[in-house]
Structures are given as structure tokens and as C-alpha cells.
């Protein structure tokens, strides 16, 4: 990356499923210095809400590792799932067997980045773009 990259990257993530489990999508938005660097959305097939929330973070890490692996930047995740934010911050244990492998993948991904990683819970109203992308990708893939 260029020297314009600040020492902090903001990531908004969201995941959702209609029916829980049901048709699901995940999305993330990367912001640096107030500018959107990247946004991405993916249809996940049939998943739970929590799986979709976790998979959005996995997608974001894939992007971060590809683009910031050798940068000393702090990563601040903002998501509207308090449960997932607290699990990834180590305040809650992951009890769900289907989430444990995704949790482990995220924790392993953190090791590829040089800065600090934090997970913050925000209200859905402060996560509008990621939420919009999730709903778009579910709508685009549902009949």
C-alpha cells in the first residue's frame, strides 16, 4: 500500500439470514482516512445469522491479509452483533459447535497482521452500508 494509509483501518461488517437458518449474506466495508477503500458482499447459501456475522469478518480478513499483511495498522471492526463482538474480544465463550471453526479461523487470521485488532458492537443504525449490502446480496440470490 501507499504511504497514505493511516495507522488505523475501520471495518464495518454485517451478516444476516432470513429464516435463521435461511438464505444468508455477508458484507464488509473498509474505511481509511474517511474514504471507502473497499466494499464487498457475498451470498452464503443457507446459514444462521451468527454464521453469517462471523463469515463477514472472515471475508474482511481475507481482504486485509491480501492488502495490509506487511503494514503496521490497527484494525477496528464494528459490527451490530454484540454476541459476536464479545466472543471475538474474549469476553464470551463460543459454545456453538458450528461457530468454533470460524472463530478459530478468525483468531488465526489476526496473527497475519502487525497491528492491534479490536471488535466493537454498534447499533444497526450505525452499520447501514454493510447492512444494505447484506440485504442486496440476499435479494439478488433469492427467488
pLDDT at 71: 85
pLDDT at 2: 44
Residue whose C-alpha cell reads 474474549 in the numeric block? 90
- CATH match of 8-141 with 3.30.420.10: yes
- Give CA–CA dist 81/135, Å, rounded: 16
DSSP assignment of 38-71 equals EEEEEEEEEE-HHHHHHHHHHHHHHHHHHHHTTS
> Average pLDDT of the chain?
94
- Give CA–CA dist 35/31, Å, rounded: 5
Give pLDDT tens digits for 2-35.
Answer: 445 568 999 999 999 999 899 999 999 999 999 9
Neighbours of 132 (CB within 10 A): 15
In this predicted structure, the answer to whether residue 103 has a pLDDT above a threshold of 60 is: yes
Q: Which of 142, 143, 128 is nearest to 12 (CA)?
A: 128
User: What is the residue extent of each domain of the chain?
Assistant: 8-141
pLDDT at 6: 62
Amino acid at each position: 500500500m501507499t504511504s497514505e494509509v493511516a495507522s488505523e483501518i475501520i471495518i464495518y461488517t454485517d451478516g444476516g439470514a432470513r429464516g435463521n437458518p435461511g438464505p444468508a449474506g455477508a458484507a464488509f466495508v473498509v474505511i481509511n482516512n474517511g474514504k471507502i477503500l473497499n466494499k464487498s458482499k457475498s451470498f452464503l447459501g443457507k446459514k444462521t445469522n451468527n454464521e453469517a456475522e462471523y463469515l463477514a469478518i472472515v471475508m474482511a480478513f481475507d481482504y486485509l491479509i491480501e492488502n495490509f499483511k506487511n503494514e503496521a495498522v490497527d484494525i477496528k471492526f464494528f459490527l451490530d452483533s454484540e454476541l459476536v463482538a464479545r466472543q471475538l474480544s474474549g469476553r464470551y465463550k463460543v459454545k456453538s459447535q458450528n461457530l468454533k471453526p470460524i472463530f478459530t479461523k478468525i483468531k488465526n487470521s489476526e496473527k497475519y497482521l502487525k497491528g492491534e485488532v479490536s471488535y466493537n458492537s454498534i447499533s444497526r443504525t450505525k452499520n447501514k452500508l454493510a447492512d444494505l449490502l447484506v440485504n442486496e446480496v440476499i435479494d439478488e440470490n433469492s427467488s
